[in-house]
Chain A
């Protein structure tokens, strides 16, 4: 079962004034209380459940993962945000109806290999690129 989302503590940062403290502009900003930040989640693709183990030799399935979560200001360093995503989330604060938040999406994908029989009983090892999410980020 998925772990209950951890409650986010506010980071105490002395150097930069907290956005909420800036007069006027960001008054109505609420930290993303209770909402999950952009991160990687478990997703297992099972060849067994698909009933394919009569021709797939290995693996029986693989962890593909997926990305989900908020890309809300301020974008923490762990959210792999592009510069553009940071700017977009700032503009979203000012014009939420006009400009959406940045998207939580894979920033690094890796390959997975499948070993299987073809219909002539040849054995084939095929590498499939971009099948596994290694990390997520805001784009």
Chain B
């Protein structure tokens, strides 16, 4: 991991002991510099990096930190080479630009229309977007989901997976959907699938959009609807290291005035 730099103990220079209040002020000031309103308190034991999102983000961190070390401030975050920890492919295409903030979103509600419901079958995941920085422009967004080998019935067939944004839910008819991305693959394909959902981020600025519904449809070559679970797509009930998540890349506005305090 990261190299522990030699910590300089100024021998002989008296170290002033801070009072409790001063220590809190120091921490609050550093948190403010880091752009945090307060000290985050993650729920689950945060030292269990086996979940998919932290593994992916740790890989991305090492790529970005390495760039900063070498080139200094203007380092363009070129396409990072993701190696080692997570076997996930780097963000698709030239998506990784000079992002100021990369957020992996793991909080979602899952809903399935499966074999016990009328066709077409689908899987829907609604993500909480509150952590997407409001003051920044989203430059790219991806949805990552793990696919196992499909059920034996589809062994040799090709599948088409389409992902839509659920724009509006209607009580008496089908929801309004916006097509975001499509992928064609073999039913036996195994691994992470990466969908580009940047198009859905157009109306995330400000407080308009606090959650995002993504709906997946799977079809065979001849247009038969396939239950996403039977196609091998893992939802929240999959192992932690294979649970779906979203990643957003955003950039601060050119000169965010530092708020005078």
B34's partner among A43, A110, A111, A128 (CB-CB below 8 A) is A128
How many cross-chain pairs have Cβ atoms below 8 Å apart between A and B?
Answer: 138
The answer on a CB contact under 8 Å between A126 and B100 is yes
Q: Find the A residue at minimum CB distance from B56.
A: A123
A44's partner among B5, B49, B131 (CB-CB below 8 A) is B5
Q: Find the A residue at minimum CB distance from B2.
A: A59
A128's partner among B35, B39, B61, B131 (CB-CB below 8 A) is B35
Q: A126-B34, A127-B101 are in contact. Are A120 and B49 (CB under 8 A)?
A: no
Closest Cβ of chain B to A89, distance in Å, is 27
Q: Which residues of chain A are within 8 angstroms of B39 by Cβ–Cβ distance?
A: 52, 55
A-binding segment of B6-14, B185-193, B209-217: B6-14
Main secondary structure of the interface of B (DSSP, over half): loop
Interface residues on B, range: 35 or more
A55's partner among B6, B27, B46 (CB-CB below 8 A) is B46
Give residues of chain A (118-139) contacting chain B, Cβ–Cβ below 8 Å.
Answer: 118-131, 134
Closest Cβ of chain B to A56, distance in Å, is 9
The answer on a CB contact under 8 Å between B104 and A120 is no
The answer on a CB contact under 8 Å between A127 and B64 is yes
The answer on a CB contact under 8 Å between B104 and A123 is yes
B72's partner among A41, A115, A134 (CB-CB below 8 A) is A134
Closest Cβ of chain A to B106, distance in Å, is 6
Interface residues on A, range: 35 or more
Query: In this complex, which of B7, B54, B104 has the most chain A Cβ atoms within 10 angstroms of its Cβ?
Result: B7
Interface residues of A (CB under 8 A from B): 1-2, 41-46, 50, 52, 54-55, 57-63, 108-131, 134
Interface residues of B (CB under 8 A from A): 1-2, 4-11, 27, 30, 33-35, 39-44, 46-47, 49, 53-54, 57-58, 60-62, 64-65, 68, 72-73, 75, 99-107, 128, 130-131
The answer on a CB contact under 8 Å between A57 and B107 is no
